[in-house]
């Protein structure tokens, strides 16, 4: 069966491999037949709640079997999937739900308590609770599935239609919804599998959050090809090592910190990881020395990739049958084009070896940003080339090397953080006159966010209070790990804060470190 839309991924594999283990989560194992039946029930349940073709459904929870059933069920119902990072605060979630016009929110009971007011605010009609004690005005997930048919009519999705809206942190301080078509998601998943030679004989493991496009791609390709997909609720080094050994995992995906935590675990060498043939890493640069150490201990090479939410996942990858050039993110994936553009003139392509902005073009490219034509025009040129915002160079053989970020985005443990978003929250504190946020290198997380704050005259507040203020308004991973109070910030002649010069203000004695 030729799979061109997300809802077509599972049925074909379930018909071909009905009794094979499809999903392993905790102590539960689901066969492909069971997964097909349960996702059909979820889709029928969503339709009974009023989800029609094109309606947006927000999925806000940690990894779980119910998350998987919901994701596939939304597509089978004809809805548009809005997977949201489970670490967002209630305020951040409210913005996303309202911005995309979600009709249904699927979350946990604990999170539902924080956002139940959204039903009173307008468009949101129903809240489905995946786990926990049911709340008044919500629908338990099991109730939604109860009594629903095990089969469902195809929703009639088309490859070019909107399938998913994934929000990314915005450089203006507000997130943007990248609109991904069914073709974007399905083709990226298929080509990601092809680059690493994944087949139905593989056992796939990940601790990545499924709400992130990288996690989604790994899940989708697993069900597309008939792999057994082993996942964790959230990454834990010991649980990861145990899962690889127990299930004889052959391929895993993660961000660099996951591999670093496993390498540093005291029981690392006590686990049998000989089943691994390949390990794939994305999200930020993997230290080559650590890739070598991993290979020496496991016998499995670490293959690096580069991707974007706006591409539905990877766009450049190391190929399993090609030379694994450490420090490189690999070569362009099939169907995609890439070039290094002059940072000041995107129409000009630079020669091999020179550093410029990485630009990409092809069927992975998003449809645009939801309800934000201005941001779409700024990101996608009229001829279809998409700005990555990353500075990069390419060698004569077509291998790409990420050098730096064109903008000031901070990558911490694989998560994207924009300084403006943190600055917006800190600036709202009554004691703050001015704030700049920059990146500081960190041996475990790659980078951490550090805030440099100028207080108003006569105002007094300590670092702990400022960090607590951030915790109330930002997801945990966005909260700055250091705060330093300074008399002034470096600025341009026009008064713009020079974020790349903030590090010149570093004074260890006056900085507050947060674990």
Return the CATH number at 137: 3.40.50.980
Residue 452 falls within a domain, yes or no?
A: yes
Scored b (16 or more CB within 10 A) or e, 341-373 reads beeeebeeebeeeeebbbbbbbbbbbbbbbebe
Residue 513 confidence (pLDDT)? 45
Domain hosting 115: range is 31-157
- HSE-up of 132 (CA within 13 Å, CB side)? 16
Residue 12 confidence (pLDDT)? 94
The average confidence (pLDDT) of the chain is 92
Report pLDDT digits (tens) over 45-65: 999 999 999 999 999 999 999
Residue 200 falls within a domain, yes or no?
A: no
Residue 162 falls within a domain, yes or no?
A: no
Residue 491 falls within a domain, yes or no?
A: yes
Residue 386 falls within a domain, yes or no?
A: no
Residue 414 confidence (pLDDT)? 84
Residues of the chain with pLDDT under 50: 1, 493-495, 508-515
Domain termination site, one of 116, 142, 157: 157
- HSE-up of 168 (CA within 13 Å, CB side)? 24
Residue 173 confidence (pLDDT)? 64
Residue 191 falls within a domain, yes or no?
A: no
Number of domains forming the structure of the chain? 2
Domain termination site, one of 136, 157, 178: 157
Residue 172 confidence (pLDDT)? 55
- CATH code of 420's domain: 3.30.300.30
Q: Are 426 and 453 in contact (CB under 8 A)?
A: yes
Domain termination site, one of 97, 125, 157: 157
Q: Are 61 and 86 in contact (CB under 8 A)?
A: yes
Residue 164 falls within a domain, yes or no?
A: no
Residue 46 falls within a domain, yes or no?
A: yes
Residue 417 confidence (pLDDT)? 83
The reported pTM is 0.84
Segments of 143-260 assigned E as strands: 162-168, 176-181, 203-206, 228-231, 251-254
Q: 3-class SS at 441?
A: strand
- Which stretches of 78-163 are DSSP H helices? 90-100, 109-115, 141-145
């Amino acid at each position: 069966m030729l799979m061109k839309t997300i809802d077509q991924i599972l049925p074909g594999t379930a018909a071909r491999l009905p009794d094979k283990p499809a999903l392993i989560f905790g102590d539960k194992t689901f066969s492909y037949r069971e997964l097909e039946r349960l996702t059909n029930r979820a889709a029928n349940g969503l339709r009974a709640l009023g989800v029609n073709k094109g309606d947006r459904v927000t999925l806000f929870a940690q990894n779980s079997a119910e998350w998987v059933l919901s994701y596939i069920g939304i597509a089978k119902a004809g809805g548009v999937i809005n997977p949201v990072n489970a670490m967002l605060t209630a305020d951040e979630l409210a913005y996303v739900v309202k911005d995309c016009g979600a009709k249904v929110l699927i979350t946990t009971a604990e999170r539902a308590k924080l956002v139940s007011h959204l039903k009173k605010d307008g468009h949101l009609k129903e809240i489905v609770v995946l786990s926990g004690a049911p709340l008044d005005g919500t629908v338990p997930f099991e109730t939604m599935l109860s009594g629903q048919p095990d089969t469902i009519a195809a929703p009639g999705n088309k490859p070019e239609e909107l399938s998913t809206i994934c929000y990314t942190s915005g450089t203006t301080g507000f997130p943007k919804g990248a609109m991904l078509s069914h073709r974007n998601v399905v083709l990226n998943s298929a080509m990601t599998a092809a680059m690493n030679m994944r087949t139905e004989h593989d056992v796939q493991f990940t601790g990545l959050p499924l709400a992130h496009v990288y996690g989604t791609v790994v899940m989708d390709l697993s069900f597309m090809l008939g792999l057994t997909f082993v996942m964790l609720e959230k990454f834990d080094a010991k649980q990861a090592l145990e899962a690889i050994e127990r299930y004889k995992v052959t391929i895993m995906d993660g961000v660099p910190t996951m591999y670093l935590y496993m390498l540093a675990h005291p029981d690392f060498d006590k686990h049998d990881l000989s089943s691994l043939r390949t390990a794939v890493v994305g999200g930020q640069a993997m230290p080559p020395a650590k890739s070598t150490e991993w290979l020496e201990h496991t016998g499995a090479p670490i293959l690096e990739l580069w991707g974007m939410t706006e591409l539905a996942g990877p766009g450049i990858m190391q190929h399993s049958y090609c030379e694994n050039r450490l420090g490189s993110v690999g070569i362009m994936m099939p169907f995609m084009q890439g070039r290094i553009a002059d940072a000041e003139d995107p129409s000009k392509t630079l020669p091999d070896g020179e550093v410029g902005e990485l630009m990409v073009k092809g069927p992975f490219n998003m449809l645009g940003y939801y309800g934000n034509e201005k941001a779409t025009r700024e990101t996608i040129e009229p001829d279809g080339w998409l700005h990555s915002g990353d500075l990069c160079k390419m060698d004569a053989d077509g291998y790409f090397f990420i050098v730096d970020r064109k903008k000031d985005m901070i990558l911490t443990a694989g998560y994207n953080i924009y300084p403006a978003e943190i600055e917006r929250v800190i600036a709202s504190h009554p004691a703050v006159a001015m704030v700049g946020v920059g990146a500081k290198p960190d041996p475990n997380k790659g980078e951490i966010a550090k805030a440099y704050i100028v207080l108003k005259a006569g105002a007094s507040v300590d670092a702990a209070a400022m960090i607590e203020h951030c915790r109330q308004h930002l997801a945990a991973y966005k909260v700055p790990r250091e705060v330093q109070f300074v008399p002034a910030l470096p600025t341009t002649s026009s008064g713009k804060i020079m974020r790349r010069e903030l590090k010149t203000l570093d004074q260890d004695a006056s900085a507050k470190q947060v674990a």
